[in-house]
Amino acid sequence: MRVLGIDPGLRNMGWGIIAVDGPRMSHVANGICRSEGDDLAARLLSLHIQLTDVIRTHAPDAAAVEQTFVNKDGAGTLKLGQARGIAMLVPAQAGIAIGEYAPNAVKKAVVGVGHAEKHQIEHMVKLQLPGVQIAGADAADALAIAICHSFHLQSSGTLAKALARAGA
């Protein structure tokens, strides 16, 4: 089964795909969708096109997206929310079920503590996915989201059902 993790962002949207076979995980691919265009609509469209291509190329069976936290900059939070909408829309259009996780839940699942630093996340992702070449911090976060989702699927018993649907 392939799990897609998405770290939403308006400028850079990280993505990472892992293969899960029971308790074993392996890296499939990762990267960063970089928005292009002069206005918000064009940037969102470019993210949609790029993420659609990722799904078409790698055919994930499940997806997970990091939840948005509200910060002091309301306009920035709103724009991040719009990018997050693209991150949820594209897998939904492909018929893929989507999990959602708070940033602290992802950090706790991957690092063991909810307030881990970026470098700690990247280090633990590399330990869990030996040999992975990470495209950047946003891709590392996306792989962490995919790992978190795979743990959730395993613990909830839905992994076996999803594997059966995927023909594994």
Q: Which of 7, 61, 122, 141 is catalytic?
A: 7
Q: Which residue in the block uniquely carries the two structure tokens 């992802």?
A: 106
d(CA 92, CA 84): 12
Q: Is 138 assigned a catalytic role?
A: yes
Quick one: DSSP state of residue 41? H
**Tokens at 40, concatenated:** 């918000």
Q: End-to-end alpha-carbon separation of the chain, Å?
A: 7
Among 61, 122, 138, 141, the one annotated catalytic: 138
DSSP letter at 11 equals: S
66 is catalytic: yes
Which of 36, 38, 61, 66 is catalytic? The answer is 66
Q: What is the largest CA-CA distance in the chain?
A: 46
Task: Please say if 117 is a catalytic residue.
Answer: no
Q: What would the two tokens of residue 75 be? A: 């306009």
- Active-site positions read 7, 66, 138
